[in-house]
Amino acid sequence: MEQANRAARQATALEGRQRWAEAAEAHARAAELYGRFDALAFDPVAVVTLSSLERRHLRWAESCRRRAAQSEGPGEAAAGDGAAAAPAPPPASGPEAARGRAARSGAEFEDFWQYMQSWLANPTAFTRPTVAPSRVGAGRRAPDALRAAPGVMESFYLVGADPEQSAVVQPQPADAPRDQAPPPAPPPDAPDAPDVASRSHAALVAENRRLVRLVQTLNERIRTLESAAQENSMLKSSIFSFREQFQRHANAAALPTIREAEPDAAAAADARVLQLEDDLQQAQLEAAKQKAQVAKYRDRWERLKESAKRKRQQQEQLAHDRRQQQGPAA
């Protein structure tokens, strides 16, 4: 991924210098690297993003090749004809095009980020496991008893005996007639029918349990992300307030001092008192905020100590009970 990003940045820089042939090669190399990157194949959003980047760099490479051909064409024609006319100047919109492309990339990244936020906000966005392209259609065909059973083929997925191979779409040939009748079901006294039904029921139960565990895990992850978002928001607000205070103090220190006639002592003392009162109020507000933070962290620390103490007591009690059980046995 780092090599692909480096190639993309190099291509943008070469476009800014209007070196179109080298920029086309850099874009083609970036597209190839984005296409070969398969570390995020389990994430459908990442796969879509990488394929979009690959197609975009291929289009940019083709555009750079056309620009290179246009910049070289007039010079060759003039040399062949012996005309004294100068070759057409290269297009002067290289840096502007690069800046516009960077702006479009920023807008596309914002769209991608909003899309990811909407996926994370959806509790059931990742409840279905993804299927690798090599496994599509690799599942076994359903037995005749399952195909003939009423209500089984109404489901979108066919669950086999192995839960790991479930959620595989059974492809249907394009030339298969839609009104073809299903194969006849085996007789009720066939020895395979109960076994197949029990296996399918066990597979459905295992699939249901696995999906329940997956939903629970995703709910826990969502709660963790929500708490992390709240902490990040608090940290961001504190950083912004600190930056505002720092800028205010810096601006106050950078103001030029104008020497004027010294006022009388009473007016200077009153102004000093007002300034000190304002500083005192600001300090009190800051102290109250810090006191609230200290109280919150002290409460959290006390809870952690109590939890650790209880765990240690439980471990000691378990060790004591184990020693007592081993003593009479010896």
Mean pLDDT over the full length of the chain: 71
Residue 18 CB partners (closer than 8 Å, separation 6+)? 71, 90, 91, 94
Of the chain, the percentage scoring pLDDT greater than 90 comes to 19
Residue 232 structural domain: 217-253
Q: Contact 91/66 with Cβ under 8 angstroms?
A: no
Tens of pLDDT along 197-252?
Answer: 777 888 899 999 999 999 999 999 999 999 888 888 888 888 888 888 887 877 77
pLDDT at 274: 92
Alpha helix positions (H), the chain: 2-16, 20-36, 44-81, 94-121, 144-148, 192-254, 265-329
Mean pLDDT for the stretch of residues 56-78 = 76
> Do 221 and 327 share a domain, yes or no?
no
Q: Contact 68/24 with Cβ under 8 angstroms?
A: yes
> Do 7 and 105 share a domain, yes or no?
yes
The yes-or-no verdict on residue 170 having pLDDT over 80 is: no
pLDDT at 82: 44
What is the C-alpha to C-alpha distance for residues 283 and 275, in angstroms, rounded to an integer? 12
Residue 141 CB partners (closer than 8 Å, separation 6+)? 170
> Do 284 and 247 share a domain, yes or no?
no
Closest CA to 172 of 180, 183, 184: 180
> Do 14 and 44 share a domain, yes or no?
yes
Residue 211 CB partners (closer than 8 Å, separation 6+)? 127
> Do 222 and 284 share a domain, yes or no?
no
**Predicted confidence band of residue 47 (pLDDT cuts 50, 70, 90):** confident
In a domain, 48, yes or no: yes
The yes-or-no verdict on residue 196 having pLDDT over 70 is: no
Q: Collapsing DSSP states into helix, strand and coil, what is residue 64?
A: helix
In a domain, 7, yes or no: yes
In a domain, 188, yes or no: no
pLDDT at 19: 84
In a domain, 260, yes or no: no
Residue 138 CB partners (closer than 8 Å, separation 6+)? 165, 168
> Do 249 and 281 share a domain, yes or no?
no
**Predicted confidence band of residue 256 (pLDDT cuts 50, 70, 90):** low
- In the numeric block, the tokens 């500083």 are attached to 279
Residues counted in the chain: 330
**Predicted confidence band of residue 73 (pLDDT cuts 50, 70, 90):** low
pLDDT at 65: 87
pLDDT at 22: 87
Q: Contact 183/148 with Cβ under 8 angstroms?
A: yes
> Do 14 and 66 share a domain, yes or no?
yes
Least confident of 34-38, 77-81, 249-253: 77-81
pLDDT at 219: 92
According to the per-residue pLDDT averaged within each range, which of 79-83, 175-179, 244-248 is highest?
A: 244-248
The yes-or-no verdict on residue 103 having pLDDT over 70 is: no
In a domain, 202, yes or no: no
> Do 23 and 103 share a domain, yes or no?
yes
- Which of 128 and 292 is assigned the larger pLDDT? 292
pLDDT at 29: 86
Least confident of 12-21, 114-123, 127-136, 304-313: 127-136
pLDDT at 101: 63
Mean pLDDT for the stretch of residues 19-35 = 85
Number of domains in the chain: 3
Terminal-to-terminal C-alpha distance of the chain: 63
Q: Contact 5/53 with Cβ under 8 angstroms?
A: no
- In the numeric block, the tokens 């329940």 are attached to 212
What is the C-alpha to C-alpha distance for residues 321 and 150, in angstroms, rounded to an integer? 57
> Do 247 and 283 share a domain, yes or no?
no
Q: Collapsing DSSP states into helix, strand and coil, what is residue 319?
A: helix
Q: How far is CA 268 from the centre of its chain?
A: 59
Task: Write out the DSSP string of 200-233.
Answer: HHHHHHHHHHHHHHHHHHHHHHHHHHHHHHHHHH
- Which of 156 and 283 is assigned the larger pLDDT? 283
In a domain, 54, yes or no: yes
In a domain, 182, yes or no: no
> Do 314 and 277 share a domain, yes or no?
yes
Residue 126 CB partners (closer than 8 Å, separation 6+)? 119, 218
In a domain, 127, yes or no: no
According to the per-residue pLDDT averaged within each range, which of 50-59, 204-213, 246-255, 318-327 is highest?
A: 204-213
pLDDT at 126: 53
Tokens of 190: 């066939």
pLDDT at 323: 85
**Predicted confidence band of residue 293 (pLDDT cuts 50, 70, 90):** very high
What is the C-alpha to C-alpha distance for residues 289 and 180, in angstroms, rounded to an integer? 75
> Do 10 and 54 share a domain, yes or no?
yes
